[in-house]
Amino acid sequence: SKHRQRVIYHEAGHFLTAYILGIPIASYSLTAWEAFRQGQEGVGGVQFELADLEQKVKNFTDFPAFLERISTVWMAGIAAETLVYGKAEGGESDRFYLQSALKLAGVSENNYAQKERWSLLQAKTLLEKQQTAYQALVIAMEKRASVEECCRVISESLV
């Protein structure tokens, strides 16, 4: 279906961006049923392995860099949909996560829109530069390839 294909493009944007920015991917699901079978709450998406990163971020000097990377990853689904379809239909939870992190970091609400635009631009630029890897990942995710296989496909296709 068209909606399912849009979800794949959206989640592939998150996956590829996380991979490139060094945020480990634990799993992904493309439907609520897949998420449920994996023991996740929600409707699916890319799940990150954050335990190692949390240790690094405890040193507050590392937090701003991590926040920029994860913000770019959160906006990558919206960026991917926009590149493929001209506009995004999904991404409400991505925006919520970004705003929650910005609030936690003490960023003024007046700067949320600017931070979102910056993160969206970073994600869009990354996806445009890595179109070959992005398209290869979409094909792998359509086949429900494992995280390891998706990572292999990306590494073989990076520019």
CA distance 127 to 133: 9
- Please state, in angstroms and rounded to a whole number, the distance separating the CA atoms of residues 133 and 123: 14
- pLDDT in the model for residue 90: 87
Q: What is the pLDDT of residues 6-40, one digit of tens each?
A: 999 999 999 999 999 999 999 998 876 676 666 66
Q: Which two tokens stand for residue 120?
A: 């969206």
Of 142, 150, 122, the residue nearest 47 (C-alpha): 150
Bridge partners for 28 per DSSP = 46
The C-alpha atoms of residue 102 and residue 51 are separated, in whole angstroms, by 20
Residues in the chain: 159
Q: DSSP string spanning 18-34?
A: HHHTT--EEEEESSHHH
Q: pLDDT tens digit string along 93-102? A: 999 999 998 9
Q: How many CA atoms lie within 13 A of 47 on its CB side?
A: 18
Residue stretches of the chain with pLDDT short of 70? 32-33, 35-43, 52-61
Q: Which residues pair with 45 in a beta bridge?
A: 29
Q: Hey, what are 2's tokens?
A: 């068209």
Radius of gyration over alpha carbons of the chain, in Å? 15
Q: At what angle do helices 2-20 and 112-129 cross, to 10 degrees?
A: 90
The reported pLDDT for the residue numbered 61 is 67
Instruction: Find all residues with CB under 8 Å of 140, minimum gap 6, and list them.
Output: 149, 150, 153
In terms of pTM, does the model score above 0.95? no
